[in-house]
Amino acid sequence: MSLSINDAQVFSTALKKARKKKHLTQAQCAELLDHSVSFQKDLERCRCSPSIENFYHICRTLDISADDCIFQDHHDRTGSAYQELLRLLPLCDENALSVLVATASALIRAELNSVSHSPCADTYN
């Protein structure tokens, strides 16, 4: 099963960005990922999509967030704070996870409230 055109475009953009962030040429990246240079070029040009196994391998090897390729909500999941939180989550017990969920929920509610109470928001309501 291949990615939809939109998903393939998102993946190809993420792949190219990750390769450049690591200062790799297409040839070096292809070697690192153990596939051909032509396949690497086709992936970056959105001419093909990887198998699920290849997708997983590419994401893990190049530190690409699979979430960013699948859930396109325009949130950066490759930032250091996000990645650090992902590394810490498996170390948390159920109690600590409950605290994190409550904290995140409170922060989001506060952000939403501050946006809805801004002077500009009142103008348009």
> Cα 37 to the chain's mean position, in Å?
24
Instruction: Note the pLDDT of residue 76.
Output: 58
Spatial separation of the C-alpha atoms in residues 6 and 49, rounded to whole Å: 11
Instruction: Note the pLDDT of residue 83.
Output: 74
Q: Count helices and strands (H / E) in the chain.
A: 8, 0
Spatial separation of the C-alpha atoms in residues 34 and 50, rounded to whole Å: 13
Phi, psi of 109 (to 5 degrees): -60, -45
Instruction: Write the pLDDT tens digit of every residue in 64-77.
Output: 888 777 766 555 55
Q: Is the pTM of this model over 0.85?
A: no
Instruction: Note the pLDDT of residue 124.
Output: 44
Spatial separation of the C-alpha atoms in residues 58 and 66, rounded to whole Å: 10
DSSP character for 43?
H
Is the alpha carbon torsion for 22, 28, 29, 33 positive or negative?
Answer: negative
Q: Tell me which amino acid residue 20 is.
A: K
Burial class of residue 19, CB neighbours in 10 A (0-12, 13-18, 19+): buried
Q: Is the model's pLDDT at 84 over the cut of 90?
A: no
Instruction: Write the pLDDT tens digit of every residue in 33-60.
Output: 999 999 999 999 988 888 889 999 999 9
Distance in Å from the first CA to the final CA of the chain: 46
